[in-house]
Amino acid sequence: MASLIEEAPRFFGYYNLIFLGQAFAYTALLSLVGCGLGFLVGFGLAVLRNERIVGFAPLRWFATIYVEIFRRIPFLVKLMVVFFAFQLAGFDASMFAVAATTVALSASAFSAENIRAGLESVHRNQWDAAETMNMGGLTALRRVILPQAWAIIIPPSMTYSVGLVKSTSIASQIGVVELTYAAKILNQKGFSAAICFGTILILYFILCYPLNLFASHLERRLAPSRHR
């Protein structure tokens, strides 16, 4: 403890703070791309897979294959695949772009599955009623199905998002200096593991905790209990 207090002023020096701040920004940005873009694309995929909305079967197959493949490959392997795919295609992409692409690919596949499960939890007789009233698939989705599905979609999506924030640390494997990598570097520079990893532990918490608040906010807004 005494040594921690002793090295703290040096650890929290100007350059280290800038360094940690950048790493924090990378982690936050990767998480944001994953949660935001991932959820949007995942939503699109879940809709594409729904035969009440999409009549054209090949589109549904495409969405299914995409989801099933990207859910089954470990994150690190996906990272390598995207990395080499960019190289092969001759893109001079930054490591951050590679990591962000991977996070988006991965998150969209997992989100698609969470959203699909939510949509399917709504009884098919709701679709039947909407269809016989001439409501189009997307109108039924927006007015009837989604309001009933949010309560099922949000909790696993938020669990997944928190998991995603943590798995962005794997981007350190290709040299993206996000929080985990930053801690390792500072540790190698001679700071104690306790202060390095203790600091990023708090930073990860700062990143994840608002997600939980956001989740409960969403649940209140989108899936309110009707018996107030």
Partner 1 sequence: MPHLVIDRLSANYGTAPVLQDVSLSVERGEIVSIIGPSGSGKSTLLRVLTGLLKPHAGVVHVAGAQVDYGSAAALKKVRDRFAVVFQQYNLFQNMTALRNVTIAPTIVKKRDAAEVEREARALLEKVGLSHRIDAYPDELSGGQQQRVAIARALALKPEILLLDEVTSALDPELVAEVLDTIRVLAAEGMTMLIVSHEMGFVREISSKVVFMADGKVVEVGPPQQIFDAPQTERCADFVRRILRH
Question: Does 87 participate in binding partner 1 (rule CB under 8 A)?
Answer: no
Structure tokens at 50: 């729904």
Least separation in angstroms between residue 205's CB and partner 1 is 35
10 vs 123 by CB, closer to partner 1 = 123
DSSP state of 174: G
Q: How big is the site for partner 1, counted in residues (CB under 8 A)?
A: 16
Of 79, 92, 77, 100, give the one whose Cα is nearest residue 26: 100
45 vs 145 by CB, closer to partner 1 = 145
Least separation in angstroms between residue 162's CB and partner 1 is 28
68 vs 128 by CB, closer to partner 1 = 128
CA distance 105 to 111: 10
Q: Between residue 128 and residue 147, which ones bind partner 1 under the rule CB under 8 A?
A: 128-135, 139, 143-144, 147
List of residues 6+ apart from 105 with CB closer than 8 A: 70, 78, 82
Within 10 angstroms of residue 5's Cβ, the number of other Cβ atoms is: 9
Question: Does 226 participate in binding partner 1 (rule CB under 8 A)?
Answer: yes
Question: Does 148 participate in binding partner 1 (rule CB under 8 A)?
Answer: yes
44 vs 147 by CB, closer to partner 1 = 147
For the chain, the residue count is 228
DSSP state of 169: G
Least separation in angstroms between residue 180's CB and partner 1 is 42
28 vs 144 by CB, closer to partner 1 = 144
Is-contact 6 185, C-beta < 8 A? no
Output 54-59 pairs: Cβ under 8 A, ≥24 positions apart: 54/137
Question: Does 126 participate in binding partner 1 (rule CB under 8 A)?
Answer: yes
Q: Which residues bind partner 1 (CB under 8 A)?
A: 125-126, 128-135, 139, 143-144, 147-148, 226
